[in-house]
Structure 1
Amino acid sequence: MYISITKQHLDKTFSRSASDFVDYLQKENQGKEPEVQEHFFDQENDRIPPEQVTKEIDGNTAKLKKTEPKFYSLTINPSQRELKAINNDPELLRRYVREAMRDYAASFHRDRPVTVDDIKYFAKIEHGRTFKGFDREVKENRPYRAQIVKLENDIRKIERGELQGDIRRTEKRIAELYAQIPHKIHGEAIVQGMKKPGFQTHVHIIVSRKDVTNRYSLSPGSKYMESESKLNGRLVKRGFNRNLFYERAEKTFDTMFDHKRNFVETYGARKTYLKNPHKYFARLLDLPTSERSAAFKILGKAGVKMPIVSIPTSKVQVALKTIKKFKRAMDVARSSGSIGI
């Protein structure tokens, strides 16, 4: 499970309306009959018109400055293993989102407990993703594609008499390069914009910066992380605890659907990797045999090339070169968005 939280956008000032973002979230519904469209939903309602979403988010921005975001965007990205656990069922995913938003609300610290009833949010399920330019498959295919495009241009120049060469030999070289392209789907080379295979269902959530009364700010932004401050002469916690939210949301999924989460799929493991890759790798090799084998399989599907998988756990301290190779492979997969780190 990979959950991201971002503010309205990254510019210095913020649009007064959420309409552009709401319109963007309607992209998968274009050309579909109403009965097969995915609708916005909240904690109680399953079919909320996009116009109502825009109206309620735009109308809940009292006293916010131009330099302050009006809303935040949450994206819940279940892994393919997690989607398989719920049979890619959108109704089960909606149930999970509603429970996860309880976890989101409970991760705020104010002078009183915050509940999901204090949060104004609207969520929408999307089923597809496309390959981006930074995806590992696109990046690794790119050098082959560049050579093929150059050779195709050469053929056109030869046909126009602008270049001397053997067209048949050039075509043969193009065929050889195409056969060597490492990543294909049904025989077609993966390029930017191509649809990703398998379950790709995920959820976009638009959350108002203000609570439902339009009086209090509930910001999950990095400037408003959990901290302590004095209130009426005593120390109290304020702000938003992201770690708590991510951990609770993960446990909620596992509890709801009896999901057995592997070490490499946990939020705690991802944090360990970022802070201490050596410790992450040592912990990985110290797993029971069956869980370690499953972990390697999961990482392999994510595009992480394991340099050595048979190294004994007693020799972890002498495996520095292996760990460095592993980290490079993990970084490649991470930068392409293949794994939830």
Structure 2
Amino acid sequence: MYITITPQKMGGNYSKSSADFVSYLEKENLSFNQEDLEDGHLGIEHFFNQYDDEIAAAEVIKEIDGNTAKLEKTEPRFYSITVSPSKYELGKLQDNSIDLKKYTRELMKDYVASFNREINGRPLTIDDIKYYAKIEHQRAFKGSDIQVRENQPFATKILQLKTDIRKIENGTMEGNIKGKAKEIAKLEREAPHQQDGRRIVQGMQKEGSQGHIHIIVSRKDASNRFSLSPGSKYKASNVELNGKEIKRGFDRNSFFEKAEKTFDKTFGYHRNFAETYQARKDFIKDPKIYFAALMKLPTNEKALAFKLMGKAGVPMMPSIPVTQGQLAMKIFKGLRRGVEVAIKSSSIGI
């Protein structure tokens, strides 16, 4: 499970309107042609919230943009939450659209529960937030994906050969065009990562199930009176404001952990140690703790953990260590760098 929470910006400034972001989230619907829809393989995905389906994009923009009372220019108007289940998690779903929508509605209850806030002396409820979500089924390879990165040396050589061919054609360089074309074809075949017989490049659509969730959540509560920031640097604290003590803070750790537990409970998913938020956090902060825990797992669980890490693009050790004494710090540092890259590329996440 990979979850991000980000304030929406345009360049260095916070977006004044949600229109551009909503338009971006409509891109998949716009990519469908009539043939796709008639085949029944693809379908239009509408915005939805806790209670309503098929909400128009124009309504989303109107509601989010109209819910910004007393916010400063330096404050975000809304946040984007992106939820990307792994292929293993998606494999537990019966219907991506229906199940991811169901999960979103449970997830947003976890979101609310992670705030250390009260409204008029009572805890927040799901009815106190204003959000809209959308399911997408396509993803493209990014430059940070391991497949693109490991294919890059081949891409560089191919680009140079194509440049040489153009120079030969316009007379600024001598050479054999057919020979260079054969070199290009050879490099295309030898690139380590292929999909449908083609070298994987940035922007190529990923095959298989790629279901994920985009959520737009207003910075202000549903009454447009109170500010609710998941970007708060406070997990939980009290502060005095106008002579009155109020609670503040948002616990991201709690939210990420709840998100996993809710998914597992909802779909009967058995989460491996390597897939847990806490384990990945330990991996980055202190690999020794991570591997010490890993080595205590039952053999089957341990083997699956290493498989999951490999699939995520995390650099593996030459051999699985038998004792903690074999866990060299030099290898730890390399592993930590590797998992950080994997997390940023959305291969794995928190």
Task: Give the TM-score, by structure 2 length.
Answer: 0.89
Q: Which residue of 2 aligns with 1:78?
A: 85
> Structure 2 matches for 1:170-185, cutoff 5 A?
170-185=180-195
* Deviation of the 1:107 alpha carbon: 1.0
Cα pair 1:306 1:329 within 8 Å, conserved = no
Cα pair 1:107 1:240 within 8 Å, conserved = yes
Amino acid corresponding to residue 104 of structure 1 in structure 2: Y
Q: Which residue of 2 aligns with 1:319?
A: 327
Structure 2's unaligned 5+ residue stretches are: none
> Structure 2 matches for 1:42-57, cutoff 5 A?
42-57=49-64
* Deviation of the 1:36 alpha carbon: 2.3
Amino acid corresponding to residue 63 of structure 1 in structure 2: K
* Deviation of the 1:234 alpha carbon: 9.8
* Deviation of the 1:140 alpha carbon: 1.7
Q: Which residue of 2 aligns with 1:41?
A: 48
Q: Could you list the per-position Cα deviations for residues 63-115 of structure 1 after superposition, in whole angstroms to 9, with x for gaps in the alignment?
A: 11111111111111111111111135211111111011011111111233111
1:61 aligns to 2:59 (yes or no): no
1:109, 1:261 → 2: CA distance? 28
* Deviation of the 1:148 alpha carbon: 1.4
Instruction: Name the stretch that deviates more: 22-31 or 114-123.
Output: 22-31
Q: Which residue of 2 aligns with 1:29?
A: 29
Q: Which residue of 1 aligns with 2:111?
A: 104
1:339 aligns to 2:341 (yes or no): no
* Deviation of the 1:37 alpha carbon: 0.6
Q: Could you list the per-position Cα deviations for residues 159-178 of structure 1 after superposition, in whole angstroms to 9, with x for gaps in the alignment?
A: 44432333443333323322
Amino acid corresponding to residue 47 of structure 1 in structure 2: E
2:173, 2:16 → 1: CA distance? 56
Q: Which residue of 2 aligns with 1:280?
A: 290
Structure 1's unaligned 5+ residue stretches are: none
Give the 3-state SS of the residue equivalent to 2:143 in structure 1: coil
* Deviation of the 1:131 alpha carbon: 1.0
Cα pair 1:138 1:191 within 8 Å, conserved = yes
1:13, 1:172 → 2: CA distance? 49
Cα pair 1:230 1:236 within 8 Å, conserved = yes
CA gap of 1:141–1:285, structure 2 versus 1, over 3 A, is same
Q: Which residue of 2 aligns with 1:254?
A: 264
CA gap of 1:210–1:235, structure 2 versus 1, over 3 A, is closer
Cα pair 1:304 1:333 within 8 Å, conserved = yes
Amino acid corresponding to residue 28 of structure 2 in structure 1: E
Q: Which residue of 1 aligns with 2:218?
A: 208
Q: Which residue of 1 aligns with 2:208?
A: 198
Amino acid corresponding to residue 319 of structure 1 in structure 2: L
Instruction: Name the stretch that deviates more: 131-140 or 315-324.
Output: 315-324
2:202, 2:324 → 1: CA distance? 39
CA gap of 1:15–1:334, structure 2 versus 1, over 3 A, is closer
CA gap of 1:58–1:232, structure 2 versus 1, over 3 A, is closer
Q: Could you list the per-position Cα deviations for residues 224-275 of structure 1 after superposition, in whole angstroms to 9, with x for gaps in the alignment?
A: 5433335899987421111111111110111111110001111111211221
Aligned length: 339
Instruction: Name the stretch that deviates more: 92-101 or 145-154.
Output: 145-154
Amino acid corresponding to residue 336 of structure 1 in structure 2: S
Query: Which of 120, 123, 132 does residue 122 from structure 1 map onto?
Result: 132
* Runs of 4 or more consecutive aligned structure 1 residues displaced over 6 Å after TM superposition: 231-236
CA gap of 1:237–1:270, structure 2 versus 1, over 3 A, is farther
CA gap of 1:27–1:152, structure 2 versus 1, over 3 A, is same
2:339, 2:289 → 1: CA distance? 14
Q: Which residue of 2 aligns with 1:15?
A: 15
Give the 3-state SS of the residue equivalent to 1:85 in structure 2: coil
Amino acid corresponding to residue 24 of structure 1 in structure 2: Y
1:13, 1:156 → 2: CA distance? 42
> Structure 2 matches for 1:261-300, cutoff 5 A?
261-300=271-310
CA gap of 1:175–1:249, structure 2 versus 1, over 3 A, is same
Amino acid corresponding to residue 326 of structure 2 in structure 1: V
2:169, 2:10 → 1: CA distance? 49
CA gap of 1:317–1:118, structure 2 versus 1, over 3 A, is same
Instruction: Name the stretch that deviates more: 96-105 or 281-290.
Output: 281-290
